[in-house]
Amino acid sequence: MSPADTGPEDPDSDPAPPLSALSPGRSRAAVTRLLSRAFEGPVVVESCEQLAPWAVLRARLADPGPGRPSTVIVKWARDNAAGRRTEPDRIRTEFAALCFLARDLRLSLASRPLALDPAGPMIALEDLGPRHSLETVLRERGAGDATIPHLIAFAEALGRLNAATAGEAARFRERMREAGGVERGSEGEAPSERTVRAAVAFAASMGAGVTGAAEADLAAALEELADPGPFLALTNGDSGMNNFLLGDTGGRLIDFEAAGFRHALTSASNLHVPGPPWITVADPVALGLEDAYRTALGSTVPQALDDRRFGFGMAAASLAHALQRLGRLPVLLRRAPGDASHRQMISTLEAAARAAETHRALPGLAGWARRVADMLRSRWRHADADFTACPAFTPRDRHLGPAPRDRPHSDGLPAVLYVVA
């Protein structure tokens, strides 16, 4: 969710309702009451502009007076037909996390919380605009000299967040109790063992069983994520580049609805594994993104500077992230040939395997991920591509066309994809 930007979310997510569809409890009167609480005095709301497609609006104050901003962000629980991410406690969780960061730790990595209406629930937050998400900037400019500093800032922000919160779980959970939030240990890039095992079982039903070294590696990866040790830290649960806003005063992380303490490297896996908007990402080692993250995290977690310890954790997090996405395979199999999600699924598995190979960890599980990718290439001929030849941050919805490939299909016909500008 990017309240200062209008770029897309996860292409498979559901939009928030239009402002006109909101219940009376979320009307301008409710917003006025919330902001009056935030500023401990009466306010006049001049206008409310929904930042579609999110359940977010920008409230503009009439004659705000000294010490008050002219605009404030108001966010409420989603309400959509599919019922995804609609739990009211997510809004309370976000407020608790932002209070923890801004008031307990004095960090300026996220929006400042202003007020909570727990019954709504609605929250008022500092307006971070005008800013643009890193995702939007990469879509417009790609990965080059102008955007690499933004990527490094993103990696550093993730590392700083993890470094500052490591060892602070008790204070966070006190904030959660006060606000009525619910900590979700398993969310998004940090899947539960059940989610991972279900994805593996489905792949096995298609002929890609996990045995021997791969099974041992899977157990070791799941154990690493379940018991992070010194890597236990706060993440927002959705550390994609759409949730990092760029501005003149530095980058800010947003969307803490799924905030919780979990393995820190689950957030950093986004440096290696393409998120929902992408087919490919940049090489985080070659560009120095991983080093930027490790240096920041290592300021309080020295184990991050140990190549073996860090590499194992990153391999586990990256492969688990890919397996979480693999859980969508039953849905993807029902989609028409040519659907962009087929290419993305293959690329995601291969990117996670590449992360493990880079760190010389979990070779059995990495090899299994590549076997699943090869199986999907055979099934989805339109998606049999050399993704390493695509530019970094190729959008998932970019048109791709046929090009020769040096590995033929079983019928002898070449099939590869190249990016059409």
At residue 360's C-alpha, the angle toward residues 356 and 363, to 5°, is 65
**In a domain? residue 394:** no
For residue 97, the domain's CATH number is 3.30.200
Q: In terms of domains, do 201 and 247 share one?
A: yes
Q: Dump pLDDT digits (tens) for 316-370.
A: 999 999 999 999 999 999 999 999 999 999 999 999 999 999 999 999 999 999 9
Query: At residue 156, what is the residue type?
Result: E
| Helices assigned H by DSSP within 7-147 | 28-38, 89-99, 134-141
Q: In terms of domains, do 40 and 73 share one?
A: yes
**In a domain? residue 205:** yes
Q: What is the CA radius of gyration of the chain?
A: 22
pLDDT classification of 189: cutoffs 50, 70, 90: confident
What is the pLDDT, as a whole number, of residue 409? 34
Q: In terms of domains, do 227 and 358 share one?
A: yes
Q: Dump pLDDT digits (tens) for 218-245.
A: 999 999 999 999 999 999 999 999 999 9
What is the pLDDT, as a whole number, of residue 26? 53
Place of tokens 């395997």: 353
For residue 249, the domain's CATH number is 3.90.1200
Q: In terms of domains, do 115 and 158 share one?
A: no
Q: Is the pLDDT confidence value at 400 over 70?
A: no
Specify the range with the lowest mean pLDDT, choosing from 79-93, 198-212, 366-380: 79-93
Distant-in-sequence, close-in-space partners of 247: CB < 8 Å, separation ≥ 6 = 4, 128, 130, 131
At residue 327's C-alpha, the angle toward residues 203 and 207, to 5°, is 5
In a 3-state reduction of DSSP, which class is residue 254? coil
**Tally of structural domains, the chain:** 2
* pTM confidence score: 0.88
Q: Which domain holds residue 326?
A: 134-383
| Helices assigned H by DSSP within 100-147 | 134-141
What is the pLDDT, as a whole number, of residue 185? 76
pLDDT classification of 46: cutoffs 50, 70, 90: very high
